[in-house]
Amino acid sequence: MTSIWLVIISVGILTYLTRLSFIMILSHWDTPPIIKRALHYVPIAVFSAIILPELFFYDGALNISVNNPRLLAGMIAIFVAWKTRSVAWTVIVGMIILLAAKTYF
């Protein structure tokens, strides 16, 4: 497993350069308004794309019903997040619903 060092260092450098890319370049570039508006949607789009599969997949399969504890907990968490804007409440209520649903369904 000596080649794993090559993987670690190569992926490390490539990932770092990816993270550094625009932070280093764009500071000397007057960003066009269309790009600025496009970037506004980056967090909304990427995190929605991370979250939805987490909710709709249960035990490795697509499950769109209240028998899917992740979907149920996620929907309630979305409501709590919308009402309270609090990370703590969203996580607490979401986890309680998830664990309760897994136990009793």
Identify the residue among 14, 66, 100, 105 touching other proteins (CB under 8 A): 14
Q: What are phi and psi of 63, to 5 degrees?
A: -140, 105
Q: What is the maximum span of the chain, computed from C-alpha positions, in angstroms?
A: 57
The distance from CA 2 to its chain's CA centroid, rounded to whole angstroms, is 33
Q: Which of residues 25-44 bind other proteins (CB under 8 A)?
A: 25-27, 31, 34-44
Please give the Cα distance from 77 to 67 (Å, whole number): 16
User: Is 77 a binder of other proteins (CB under 8 A)?
Assistant: yes
User: Is 95 a binder of other proteins (CB under 8 A)?
Assistant: yes
User: Is 61 a binder of other proteins (CB under 8 A)?
Assistant: no
Cβ atoms within 10 Å of 100's Cβ, excluding its own: 13
Instruction: Report the interface residues with other proteins, using CB under 8 A.
Output: 1, 3-12, 14-16, 18-27, 31, 34-57, 62, 70, 73-74, 77-78, 80-82, 85-91, 94-95, 98-99, 102
